[in-house]
Amino acid sequence: MRQIVFYLILFFSWSDTNVFAQEKQEYFKDNYFRYDNFTYRNNIKTIQLENAQFPMSEPVIELNSGAQLLLQFDDLDGDYKDYWYTIIHCDAQWKPSDITRSTYLFSFYEDRIADYAFSFNTLQPYTHYTLKFPNEQIKPLISGNYLLKVYLNNDPDSVAFTRRFLVFENLIDVNASVHAATLAEYRQQKQEVDFSLSTTRYTIANPFGDLKVKILQNFRWDNAVENLKPIFIKDNLLEYNYDEENTFNGSNEFRRFDIRSLKYETESVERIDHFDTGTNVLLFPDKVRYFTRYTTDYDIDGKFEIKNYSGSHPERDADYATVRFRLEYKDEVKDGNIYILGALTDWGFSNQNMLRYDEDLKAYTTTLFLKQGYYNYMYVFLKDGTSFGDESWLEGNHYETENNYWILVYHRPQTERYDKLVACRKFASNR
């Protein structure tokens, strides 16, 4: 009997391991559906999702506030397509919530994207689509994590792209301090996010079990800090004042390039080549910044701004160019890959933004097809078998770096089947 039980345990363990390995393998296929920011079709470019009131803002709105999100994207086929959208409520870990759509959606479950315009005076033809929501057709009823899903021809299986956004309730007050790390060994390289939560206006029966807290740096999800528990509770005040668990690599100010004009080279552009079929932009070679001192520099925290100096409607008259990146490096790295990270690459890791090593150039290189504008980016290393992008030895780490931090507080009462987002606050690091 014991032998039978042993073999059963062994079988199910092997089965679970293989299922996990298969799922992991499937995840890196382009057709695998992700509850993440991801583009499934090569003809879709320049996806922007932001608070409609604030250009280049994060996709965050307050529940029932009247605020809207603005979605914009281009279809490089240059024709009209029948795009539809829906939104999916997710838990704090970005898994679909175990609730019906009628619980979180008002009115319709899906709707057509009706606002579009064709490009003009561009070598690259494209169709520009625009959507504002919540609207009369689709409106979230509850707070939490949401996934915007855009697809073709009213067929949910024909996914074009997905985007994360947040809907919050202002129920808990958040106070935070961002400063150099407390521990001496991290003080020059890391930033620490200490914060407290006030539950005066909102009752939490079990703060240790019912609350989930996340901290995002520059709205990145891959290096989020989570699973923090209050270390001290007094009356209605929950303190999260750690020494190590709440620290982030300070990183460095983002690199940048400017292709708002394709007629002349900027400080980051070495050469612009014009052809009948398009434009190629060669950026100056980048160098590893691990050993460089920190220098104050203006950046836009990894985002991009679409703009065309020679036009008046950049959403329709800004052209596209093939932009070539080069990161000088003496040898090829063997235990992982190097990626370009920022809003220009959806803050994610895919074959499109992975660099390849060129032995002749002694550099990592890749190209991205980008719309005219001003761009921020960084280089990160993704070690094999991990999902956390590490910029440490490519960009360097400095406690002085200006970063933005988001503190997200989720609450799932024992009587509910979903995670409410009861607080969402943005804080800047102190120099």
Q: Is the pLDDT of residue 5 over 80?
A: no
In this prediction, residue 18 carries a pLDDT of: 44
Q: Is the pLDDT of residue 368 over 50?
A: yes
Lowest mean pLDDT among 10-14, 63-67, 309-313, 395-399: 10-14
d(CA 116, CA 274) in angstroms, rounded, equals 28
Residue found by looking up tokens 């679409």 in the block: 306
In this prediction, residue 32 carries a pLDDT of: 78
In this prediction, residue 297 carries a pLDDT of: 86
In this prediction, residue 24 carries a pLDDT of: 45
CA 163 to chain centre: 9
Q: Is the pLDDT of residue 28 over 80?
A: no
Partnered with residue 131 across adjacent β-strands are: 71
Contact indicator for 188, 399 with CB cutoff of 8 Å? yes
Question: What is the mean pLDDT of the segment spanning 55-61?
Answer: 97
In this prediction, residue 31 carries a pLDDT of: 61
In this prediction, residue 30 carries a pLDDT of: 54
In this prediction, residue 311 carries a pLDDT of: 85
d(CA 305, CA 396) in angstroms, rounded, equals 25
Q: Is the pLDDT of residue 195 over 70?
A: yes
d(CA 160, CA 149) in angstroms, rounded, equals 8
Question: If residue 118 lies in a helix (H) or strand (E), which one and from where to where?
Answer: strand 115-118
Question: What is the mean pLDDT of the segment spanning 32-57?
Answer: 95
Q: What percent of the chain has pLDDT over 70?
A: 92
